[in-house]
Structure 1
């Protein structure tokens, strides 16, 4: 009976996470348009509903009803599968994230994590890396050079910033001695001064920069840079297949925001009179706002500039940080 209860609980958690995060990802598109409009002295969406709030519904209807075009010479099986990989990997990575502290419902204790595995950080990083195959396969299976260039830039981003993000996390993980996100959160339960960002500020900065590249956000959105390669890997896509790529992108933004909040910013531990659940929401909202702010403020970089930044600046800094942390621990 206990096993049946665990299975039912896991299924309910997975459905709730899928529904809530998908809704958050859709709402993030509206928030992004409003925030960018405010920073650029525009109004943004205003015509559909009060202050444009129903623009979400209009965009959803458009995506679901728009004609699904597949180019005649595309590699059709791969072309069709590629958009599914992006959201699938994004939501799978969330299985190891503890979203909130434990709470009790009718005497039953609920742990807000789908699967509490002791290598949660490694699992999330691995699954997120697989997600890069979505734009890679989409670009390679399409029929135009812009999509192929976008796919080639996907490989550049994968080789560059996956290494940086992994090395950036090594130093804080050396301090904690565990790959479980629950253990990492509990390591910082001593209050504001125990947050890992104070002990590992360089690791925080490196991981945040790598997060911008892994989520394909400005200034590292090279694989769909509209000024150079139209829409990159997604040039040949339309309708819901196009929408799946961006559901995956915004879901990845939420995942990165949770990772940064849990690993460096105290996680879901309470702060003063603010409960832990409210604190984690404040932290991820602030980091997602940072994503939007950077898009409004920073220009794009070239692929060669991104690789130079990774291999000659960020990676040496990550290695030096690991060395210093090791010396301190010894």
Structure 2
């Protein structure tokens, strides 16, 4: 009892919050795998998984069992330490991104004044994990995927940051809870109304930063076999899979907090509004993946350097000018 009393209450709160986050991520990965497969099936006019459980609802559990049961092996001449460090780096930093996420008025693991900065900083570690996976596997397709990852992520982080800065300047804070509180309950009171261009830029960059189609060039099955994770099997591949879906939830949550009013909505504010908006954005991710074809790598970079960065810069300058004047 004395030992428990000596533990700071904040530490206990964070530990409980991290356990809840791990459960939250695990459940959502299973749900999103099923939603992705069924969504792809309906978009492509086929039933999708239909055999394991009613309407294939147990298919994600079957997939998880298959991945856990597969043998793990290290490729010849690969760097074993870096090779197995990469999937770990892909998953665990993502869990930290949920710490400052404002799910509701009082549903936040830890209030962080620089929460937005924390998310942007730790999100960069995912790029490092992808780069290590491709380089350490001693595979030419993996190396090409790693090179594409660096080029793509570094490029698209710039307009993403500029879009986020527009909201930070407008609200005068990097605390996500403060940004949400600065918006009203009705859609015309959300930041998407005052910053529509920043919202569109953020959304496009979110697809690129999470390596989702049509910007999934680092893995591009039609060109690079599986890109950076070509040599991974079992839970090595499964951890990259989990990280991708967890990152989708993170960017959807950040987008909801920045542009869509967070937990606020018509009627009674609460966690349900936050989750409804997050699920709507996740549905958009799935719809776009199975609707639009993958772009070429030169097109991907041209979209960023010729369009997104100039537009994001002009939008930021316009925001600063209007704030100074009004």
TM-score, structure 1 normalization: 0.94
Superposed counterparts of 1:1-330, under 5 Å: 4-102=8-106, 112-189=107-184, 191-269=186-264, 271-330=265-324
Q: Give a deviation string over 1:260-288, Cα, whole Å, max 9, x none.
A: 1010000001x222442111111000000
Instruction: Could you tell me which runs of 5 or more consecutive residues in structure 1 were left unpaired when the two chains were aligned.
Output: 103-111
Q: Give a deviation string over 1:235-254, Cα, whole Å, max 9, x none.
A: 00000011000100000000
C-alpha contact 1:21 1:251 (8 A) present in aligned 2: yes
Displacement of 1:7: 2.1
Measured at CA, do residues 30 and 244 of structure 1 come closer, stay the same or move farther in structure 2, by a change above 3 Å? Answer: same
C-alpha contact 1:257 1:288 (8 A) present in aligned 2: yes
Compute the RMSD of aligned alpha carbons.
1.3
Indicate the residue corresponding to 1:107 in structure 2. Answer: none
Bigger mean CA offset, 48-57 vs 246-255: 48-57
Aligned residues between the structures: 320
CA distance in 2 between counterparts of 1:3 and 1:143 reads 46
C-alpha contact 1:45 1:51 (8 A) present in aligned 2: yes
Structure 1's consecutive aligned runs of 4 or more residues displaced over 6 angstroms after TM superposition are: none
Name the SS for the 1:91 alignment partner: helix
CA distance in 2 between counterparts of 1:215 and 1:190 reads 29
Instruction: Could you tell me which runs of 5 or more consecutive residues in structure 2 were left unpaired when the two chains were aligned.
Output: none
CA distance in 1 between counterparts of 2:28 and 2:272 reads 16
C-alpha contact 1:224 1:234 (8 A) present in aligned 2: yes
Displacement of 1:190: 5.2
